[in-house]
Chains A and B, each alone.
Chain A
Amino acid sequence: MDSHHSYSQVKGVSTGVSNLFIKSYVSSKTINKLIQVHDRIFCCIAGSLADAQAVTKMAKFQLSFHSIQMESPPLVKAAASIMRELCYNNKEELQAGFITAGWDRKKGPQIYVVSLGGMLLSQPFTIGGSGSTYIYGYVDAKFKPDMSLEEAIQFSTNALALAMGRDNVSGGVVHLVVITEAEVKHVVVPGNKLPKFHDE
């Protein structure tokens, strides 16, 4: 899930990976689903990881080419648009959804959702993946526009912890990336440090 606030962004992703073809075997507990496609632009991936990795690899290449041609850092919208073109034109073969988020000079922090079939939508915050259904109520209730960085990190961590508590294919550790004009910070919250709720 992603939330952004006035000057920077927090992206969070929980990392269990389950290979469904081998009867719900967890092939990795610590995989990082936050892929960097440019200096200040990241993508959260969901769905088939193979497809998602292939798409982000291609997008990273096209984005860096575009950035060199334009002689300036790319817009977040440009990155999202490239992902969307790839998803839409190959919609029959691909099974991956993305949240593209980052910071650029023109509009500051932004979040774009690129869904399975290739829709592109800009939102103040968004959630995705199989575990997201369980936290729609929570994020609808708790999100406030213009949160501070600490509040946004707490909000993301809580939401992810709740989703991991209910979704059997989400779990492991929580990866957070904070993107600002100045820097990109990667925070990892291991399972035992996650917030606990009443029934745990």
Chain B
Amino acid sequence: MATMLQKFPSSVSTLNDYNALYPDWTQREVSTGTTIMAVEFDGGVVMGADSRTTTGAYIANRVTDKLTPIHERIFCCRSGSAADTQAIADAVTYQLGFHSIELDEAPLVQTAASLFRDMCYRYREELMAGIIVAGWDRRRGGQVYTVPVGGMMTRQPVSVGGSGSSYIYGFVDSNYKPAMSKEECLKFTAEALTLAMERDGSSGGVVRLAVISEQGVERQVILGNQLPKFSTV
């Protein structure tokens, strides 16, 4: 629909802004503005994301699920262009499923991350995708791999991504301690995401959390009025 609309050059009229005839969201791509985060703990990982998808200034989906399953115990958090990340996640899900059947055992988190990295690096000029891959496998337990825009891949004990992540680097750096328990990780993630959502216009809605461990996946949602409160926020 956006391609049918004409963009008027400024020479058409200096008195009227003809480009204001059509709302902003008809000419913008859908983006998962976003704040995403994942933390390793002994025995698994905690992943979290906000729930806002924007088309320009319009919130296309205020209850988005950005935590996408790639395999039974491997999830990814998506940020950047919604279309690109959905397409990449679908492709990797297929490839990983095939690989797992060939191997006849559960795939490694590192394998999933590598598949994301290969695709994001090969098509880096066309894509706009920042992805955090996290999960549990038998060989190395809970792992978090980050594949930011450009196609690098690295493992980190805690990783944040998306437009809202800039605002919480200080909070994450100061509050993260190695060897936190599952409950501490959940609290840490929920607080960090709440702080980012308060400051970043492209992040908001509810906080979605997922805990992945040997036992499986537990998902939770923290609604707007139940988010942690801070004195200034």
Interface residues of A (CB under 8 A from B): 124-125, 133-141, 143-145, 158-159, 162-163, 165-166, 197-199
User: Which residues from chain B sit less than 8 Å from chain A, CB to CB?
Assistant: 166-178, 191-192, 195-196, 198-199, 230-233
Would you call A136 and B177 a contact (CB within 8 A)? no
A125 surroundings in chain B (CB, below 8 A): 232
- A140-B195, A143-B232 given; A134·B174 CB < 8 A: no
* Chain A CB within 10 A, most for which of B168, B176, B198: B168
Cα-based distance from A137 to B176 in the complex (angstroms):
13
Residues in B neighbouring A162, C-beta threshold 8 A = 169-170, 173-174
Separation in Å of the B180 CB from the closest CB of chain A?
Answer: 11
Residues in A neighbouring B191, C-beta threshold 8 A:
141
Is A144 a contact of B231 with CB atoms below 8 Å? yes
Instruction: List B contacts of A141 (CB < 8 A).
Output: 171, 175, 191, 195, 230
Q: How far is the CB of B155 from chain A (nearest CB, A)?
A: 14
| Distance of A55 Cα from B171 Cα, bound (Å) | 33
Q: Using Cβ atoms and an 8 Å threshold, which residues of chain A touch B172?
A: 137
**Chain B interface, DSSP helix/strand/loop, else mixed:** helix
A contact patch SS: helix
Cβ–Cβ < 8 Å partners of A199 in chain B: 173
- Which residues of A lie under 8 Å from residue B175 when comparing CB positions? 141
CB distance from A34 to the nearest CB of B (A): 21
- Among residues of B, the one whose C-beta sits closest to the C-beta of A123 is B232
**What 4 A-B pairs are tightest by C-beta distance, nearest first?**
A138-B170, A137-B168, A135-B170, A137-B171
Q: What is the CA–CA distance of A161 and B176 in the complex, to the nearest angstrom?
A: 15
Chain A residues whose C-beta falls within 8 Å of the C-beta of B192 in the assembled complex = 137
Q: Assess A137 versus B195: contact at CB under 8 Å? Given A166-B173, A197-B173, A198-B173.
A: yes
B168: chain A residues at CB < 8 Å are 136-138
Q: Residue of B at shortest CB range from A124?
A: B232
CA distance A163 to B167 in the complex (A): 10
The docked-state distance in angstroms from the alpha carbon of A121 to that of B177 is 36
Write the nearest CB–CB distance from B183 to chain A, whole angstroms.
18
Given A141-B191, A143-B232, A144-B231, A133:B173 Cβ within 8 A: no
Does the CB pair A136–B176 fall under 8 Å?
Answer: no
Would you list 22 pairs from A and B whose C-beta atoms are within 8 A, ordered by A residue? A124-B232, A125-B232, A133-B167, A134-B170, A135-B170, A135-B171, A136-B195, A137-B168, A137-B171, A137-B172, A137-B192, A137-B196, A138-B171, A139-B232, A140-B195, A140-B230, A144-B231, A159-B170, A162-B169, A165-B173, A166-B170, A198-B173
Question: Once the chains bind, are B233 and A140 in contact (CB under 8 Å)?
Answer: yes
Output the nearest chain A residue to B177 by Cβ-Cβ distance. A198
Residues of A within 8 A of B178 (CB): 198
A163 to B230 Cα, complex, angstroms: 20
A143, B167: Cα distance in complex, Å: 15
Of A138, A140, A159, A163, most B-chain CB atoms within 10 Å: A140
A154 smallest CB distance to B (angstroms):
12
